[in-house]
Amino acid sequence: MHRMPKAFRHAAVVGKFQARGIAPVLEEIAHFLTGRGLDVYFERETAQAMGATGARGSGRVGDVGGIGGYEALSAEDLGRRCDIAVVVGGDGTMLGFAREMARFQVPLVGINAGRLGFITDIPLDRYKESLAPILGGDFEEEHRSMLAGSVWRQSGGQSEGVGECIFEGLSLNDVVVSRGGTAGMLEVRVDIGDDFVANLRADGLIVASPTGSTAYALSAGGPILHPAIGGWVVVPIASHTLSNRPIVLPDSGEVRIGIVAGKDVSASFDMHNLASLLHGDQIRVRRSAHQVRFLHPRGWSYYATLRRKLRWYEGGV
């Protein structure tokens, strides 16, 4: 984690556009960025939800905040044009946009307009005093690893281990394999690298990054991994065998999860789901070549975030 001087020039604004009352907040933040000398662009879906005009034509947002118009761009165009992105919402909003920006290495600043806010850490009511120094080059920067997941399916005449990739997805939090809503549990075969680990019977299995270790994996009884750790946590969900415990792994190998038994099995890559997996399908998880860049206010601490969000005791002895 480090600080480095930088003058940002082009900012993307992304918002949790489903949230009631978010439009005036986004307008105010856009005005603040413009006042700091940045060119501001809205993410297209955010702009449309705010009442964009000409979204399929000129692509401009009509009279946002009384400052003329802001251009509305796709995520890919924002990645190519912007050198900073301000994300207003909760962790879900950040997750979706972070995956889009990772390959462009655009740094992200999260303003929390949601609930917990593990990765949208700037309080909404204090965004000006936090954002101004960041725009001036005074910040803490960290890089978060991502998971690259894929689903492979056997076809007629193919030998074991050979198949067709039917889905690929990136995850900042986790890859989750789980059963459907029907009764019964899921059975999976887990291999790590060239080593067979176990056949597990459970409601599901989570492979989480350090970022995702404070999400679903934590609720399922997994440990918290510091974001600087090059590892993953594999957590069974309601395992039938009590000796099947969470395990922390290095992220240098590939985790393979084969579907042995279960009905309506699905795989979730953060918020992207692939449903109706078949017996014999295999989910493969490896470390992505891309990382997400987060910018935090000076003095930011991961441990302080844990204390605040998990309400750990802060008193002295």
Angle between helices 22-35 and 127-135 (to 10 degrees): 40
Q: How far apart are CA 174 and CA 149, in angstroms?
A: 9
Q: How far is CA 316 from CA 30, 212, 312, 313, in A?
A: 41, 30, 12, 9
CB neighbours of 298 closer than 8 A, spacing ≥ 6?
3, 133, 138, 139, 140
Q: How far is CA 205 from CA 9, 79, 254, in A?
A: 43, 33, 15
Positions of E strands within the chain: 10-15, 39-43, 60-61, 70-73, 84-89, 108-112, 122-123, 140-153, 164-171, 174-178, 186-192, 195-202, 204-208, 231-237, 247-250, 255-261, 265-269, 272-277, 282-296
* Residue 62 dihedral angles phi and psi, to the nearest 5°: -75, 120
91 given a catalytic annotation: yes
Q: SS3 of 229, please?
A: coil
Please count the other Cβ atoms lying within 10 Å of the Cβ belonging to residue 181.
Answer: 6
Question: Hey, what are 121's tokens?
Answer: 């850490």
* Residue 267 dihedral angles phi and psi, to the nearest 5°: -120, 135
Task: Give yes or no for a contact between 150 and 175, defined as CB atoms under 8 angstroms apart.
Answer: no
Catalytic residue (choose from 39, 91, 125, 194):
91
CB neighbours of 58 closer than 8 A, spacing ≥ 6?
none
Q: Which of 107, 136, 141, 111 is nearest to 126 (CA)?
A: 111
Q: Which of 10, 16, 174, 23 is nearest to 99 (CA)?
A: 174
Residues with catalytic function: 91
